[in-house]
């Protein structure tokens, strides 16, 4: 099968001497393209170019799992490098990436970090140390905090719908303004009586004694103090 040639270029008719050089040059280029279009080798090169693009797309898709593994490994490097540091320490985005990709965050040490607005939806945070961490406005739907240390954690505005708090240490955790939290969820945690709640929710929990008036077990005369206004 002979390659198809383009339509033969039409001789230009310049309307002024200023436009003539440009029109003649354009006509020359059109003739060059017209002549090369009749050569089979250029048709072959065109197909090779298209096949190269297709091969690149296939290779990109095939390497997707490897790229994901590299990205997860890089995220863990950031998280683990700051594991003994207090504060956020550049871990916000890596933690967000790991959680969104289903990585287990069990038993991490995240102390005094500001993770406001983070998406931990469905994340596994079993046994994780989150003491004094701010989770204001975070998405914690179906997050698993089983046996986690949640002392002094701020949950204001966080969505805790379906979150598991079984065995979690809730001492002085601040649940004021938390959304979609139930009394049953709270009462599955540990030391929940000494957490901070809105007054209406305290009544749901059956708490009558003010937090600041609660005596500490085994410490006669000493009262609990939670560092929240």
pLDDT digits 0-9 by tens, 57-87: 776 576 566 656 676 677 777 777 766 667 7
Instruction: Give per-residue burial for 83-108: e unless 16+ CB within 10 Å, then b.
Output: eeeeebbebbebbbbbbeeebebeeb
pLDDT digits 0-9 by tens, 25-68: 777 777 677 666 666 666 666 667 776 777 667 765 765 666 56
**R_g over Cα of the chain:** 33
Between the alpha carbon of residue 101 and those of residues 20, 62, 68, 212, 217, the distances in Å are 63, 18, 9, 42, 42
Q: Measure the CA–CA gap between 40 and 101, rounded to whole angstroms.
A: 49
194 close to 224: Cβ distance less than 8 angstroms: yes
pTM above 0.75, yes or no: no
Q: Is the pLDDT score of 9 beyond 60?
A: yes
pLDDT confidence of 1, banded at 50, 70, 90? Answer: very low
Q: Measured on CA atoms in the order 52, 54, 56, 59, is the torsion positive or negative?
A: negative
């Amino acid at each position: 099968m002979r390659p198809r040639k383009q339509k033969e270029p039409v001789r230009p008719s310049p309307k002024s001497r200023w436009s003539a050089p440009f029109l003649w040059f354009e006509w020359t280029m059109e003739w060059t393209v017209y002549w090369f279009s009749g050569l089979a080798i250029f048709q072959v090169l065109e197909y090779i170019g298209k096949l190269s693009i297709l091969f690149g797309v296939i290779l990109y898709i095939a390497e997707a799992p490897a790229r994901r593994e590299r990205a997860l490994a890089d995220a863990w490097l950031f998280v683990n490098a700051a594991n003994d540091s207090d504060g956020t320490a550049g871990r916000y985005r890596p933690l967000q990436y790991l959680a969104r990709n289903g990585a287990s965050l069990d038993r991490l040490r995240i102390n005094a970090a500001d993770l406001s607005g983070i998406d931990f939806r469905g994340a596994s945070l079993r046994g994780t140390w989150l003491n004094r961490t701010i989770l204001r406005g975070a998405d914690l739907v179906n997050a698993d905090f089983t046996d986690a240390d949640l002392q002094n954690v701020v949950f204001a505005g966080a969505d805790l719908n379906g979150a598991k708090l079984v065995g979690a240490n809730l001492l002085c955790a601040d649940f004021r303004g938390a959304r979609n939290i139930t009394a049953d969820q709270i009462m599955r945690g540990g030391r929940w009586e000494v957490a901070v709640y809105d007054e209406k929710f305290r009544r749901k929990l059956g708490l009558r004694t003010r937090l600041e008036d609660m005596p500490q077990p085994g410490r006669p005369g000493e009262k609990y103090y939670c560092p929240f206004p």
